[in-house]
């Protein structure tokens, strides 16, 4: 009985982790709603967008946009530009599209169900790229970051954000995550790397870097 109970618990935990990775169905919709309304998530996304210094005419991409909180912030800044988003959850694409319906109708926000390893074409070079709590799920992250760097214009910016959600996460956990992101960006050829921290529980790290001119 104990073994059966442990197996059931493990399956339930695995299901919840898979839903966080790729929300789907009714549970996925509920997860997206929770992500969108959790105050710490909103603060984290709004803060990350502010660090990217998005200009009115910028072309910006978010990888793994979830319920579309950061997409809305980006669209509010790139008022004469274009905001692109890719997420491999169709449930999140639908939820983010509803949240950003006016900008989608105006063809300023473009949302696609796709994975980071199979990105659609974005036409002209991008000015900035954002990824919040998603790099840890990417296959071959250095290769993926190298491909993203090639999508950026010279001197374009990227922001990778991490707020560890593992049980017992602390400031040290965040610092370790930030160092890992710095190492990945360096290996992918980015420069001018810096780290900013938002004091939540646990703290949030935003690692910013530039595409060499």
Q: How far is CA 183 from CA 78, 142, 189, 194, in A?
A: 30, 9, 10, 12
All domains of the chain in start order, with CATH: 39-210 (3.40.50.150)
Q: How far is CA 120 from CA 12, 115, 151, 200, in A?
A: 34, 9, 11, 34
In which band, very low, low, confident or very high, does the pLDDT at 10 lie, cut at 50, 70 and 90? very low
pLDDT given at position 21: 47
pLDDT in tens, 129-165: 999 999 999 999 999 999 999 999 999 999 999 999 8
The candidate with the shortest Cα–Cα distance to 117, out of 146, 97, 81, 92, is: 146
Structural element, H or E, at residue 91: helix 90-99
In which band, very low, low, confident or very high, does the pLDDT at 28 lie, cut at 50, 70 and 90? low
- Residue 158's φ and ψ, nearest 5 degrees, are -135, 145
């Amino acid at each position: 009985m104990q073994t059966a109970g442990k197996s059931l618990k493990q399956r339930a935990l695995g299901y919840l982790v898979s839903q966080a990775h790729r929300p789907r169905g009714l549970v996925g919709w509920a997860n997206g709603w929770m992500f969108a309304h959790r105050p710490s998530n909103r603060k984290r996304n709004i803060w990350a967008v502010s660090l990217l210094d998005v200009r009115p005419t910028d072309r910006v991409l978010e990888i793994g946009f979830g319920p579309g909180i950061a997409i809305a912030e980006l669209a509010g800044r790139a008022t004469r530009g274009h905001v692109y988003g890719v997420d491999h959850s169709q449930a999140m694409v639908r939820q983010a599209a509803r949240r950003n319906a006016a900008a989608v109708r105006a063809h300023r926000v473009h949302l696609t169900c796709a994975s980071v390893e199979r990105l659609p074409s974005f036409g002209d070079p991008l000015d900035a790229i954002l990824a919040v709590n998603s790099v840890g799920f990417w296959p071959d992250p250095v290769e993926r970051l190298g491909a993203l760097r090639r999508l950026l214009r010279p001197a374009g910016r990227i922001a990778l954000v991490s707020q560890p959600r593992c049980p017992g996460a602390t400031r040290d956990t965040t610092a370790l995550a930030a160092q890992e992101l710095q190492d990945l960006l360096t290996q992918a050829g980015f420069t001018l790397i810096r780290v900013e921290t938002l004091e939540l529980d646990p703290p949030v790290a935003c690692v910013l870097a530039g595409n060499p001119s």
